[in-house]
Structure 1
């Protein structure tokens, strides 16, 4: 009798259980990585939208000031 688990490698059911446990952990980690990437993607879309809005707003203001100065 010792502390070492000498029979754990020979038990097919135990090996299968450990393998499934490892796959489930990988699936959970992948799910978290996907969620993080999705949040990052939506934030970048938001930032692009804000940048485009500012660009369009600046263009409108420039054109408006151009036409306003022309009429004077």
Structure 2
């Protein structure tokens, strides 16, 4: 795996994490001020983005492990 793909993978993961963080803030604001009538939508959004981020992190860790082995 080349470095360009690895960097691209890390950037995608960062974007997913930022989206998840924004989702958390939206959910907290909704809890505080009752902006939206469907808080379950915010909960689902946060859970989905968090799970995608965790998936990316585990795949990234596996790829980094493989990358370290191949460079030896």
TM-score of the two chains, using structure 1 as the length reference: 0.47
Quick one: higher RCO (CA 8 Å, sep 6+), 1 or 2? Answer: 2
TM-score of the two chains, using structure 2 as the length reference: 0.47
